[in-house]
Amino acid sequence: MTDKTSIFDHLGDRWRQPLTKDDVRDFLDPNARERYRDIPYRRSYLFHGAPGTGKTSLTLSIAGCFGLDIYAVNLSSIDDNGLRNLFANLPGHCVILLEDVEVVNSSSPEGMASLTALLDVVDGVGDGQVLIMTTRHIELVDGALLRAGRVDVKTEFRLADKETIARLFWLAFGQEAADPLAHEFAGKVPELEFSPAEILSFLIENRRSPKQAVDNVAAWMADIRSERKKGRV
């Protein structure tokens, strides 16, 4: 069984991962510094979408692809001084991951990073650094953080469509063994209701038999829907 990060690395969709990685590759090209001339030599991305749609997995994939260290920051558990000190001591070429940036706003509680501090460190990202911010709710992200110059590229991560569902099935079981059942499985799972991570976890639970996965998926969907109504998922 392939691990989850590897599966998400190969999954993506028809354009998201290739375009994002190509953009990072262009930025890291040794000749890119000359193209930036008098503007800051840095690149920033905002990945937005529901949990389990691959935002963090793509970040890990980018770092692995280009041999960059990742520095992940939990904005809910760091104050202004900690945030500024962390950014001041980061190495030149690295990936900085700020997850759930919507938690920081003009009314952030005391002891947590303020919007002012977040904007300061984003504006001060160093030469050659790749900044990736993620959010589940782009509508809650402060507009000041989204303006041009702070976010270069916004990328939406969606819930699973039919193609993604079938590809997950193939990747989980192997295309040759699973091919006859992949489209049957995808036909039973509604589009844009479940995240790739949710579907993948279900497939791993049923990894001994692709037929078992097809037979059990209706009950699994009913359980997930019931848990959502109770507010547990």
Choose one of 117, 134, 157: the last residue of a domain. Answer: 157
Domains: count for the chain: 2
Do residues 96 and 73 touch, judged by C-beta distance below 8 A? yes
User: Residues 24, 77: one domain?
Assistant: yes
State pTM to two decimals.
Answer: 0.84
Clarify whether residues 105 and 15 are in a common domain. yes
Residue 41: inside a domain, yes or no?
yes
Do both 66 and 168 map to the same domain? Answer: no
pLDDT of residue 80: 96
With respect to residue 230, please indicate whether it lies within any of the assigned structural domains: no
Segment-wise mean pLDDT, segments of 10 residues, the chain, 233 residues: 46 60 90 76 93 91 94 95 96 95 91 95 94 97 93 92 92 80 96 95 94 97 95 71
- Are 105 and 131 within one domain? yes
Residues 82, 174 within the same domain: no
Q: Are residues 115 and 187 in the same domain?
A: no
Please check whether residue 229 lies inside any domain of the structure. Answer: no
CATH of the domain at 68: 3.40.50.300
User: Which residue range is the domain that position 178 belongs to?
Assistant: 162-221
Residue recorded with tokens 């990736």:
132
pLDDT at site 169: 94
| H, E, C per residue of the chain | CCCHHHHHHHHCCCCHHHHHHHHHHHHHCCCHHHHHCCCCCCEEEEEEECCCCCHHHHHHHHHHHHCCCEEEEEHHHCCHHHHHHHHHCCCCCCEEEEECHHHCCCCCCCCCCCHHHHHHHHHCCCCCCEEEEEECCHHHCCHHHHCCCCCCEEEEECCCCHHHHHHHHHHHHCHHHHHHHHHHHHHHCCCCCCCHHHHHHHHHHCCCCHHHHHHHHHHHHHHHHHHHHCCCC
**How many Cβ atoms are within 10 Å of 118's Cβ, its own excluded?**
25
Domain match, 149 and 208 both: no
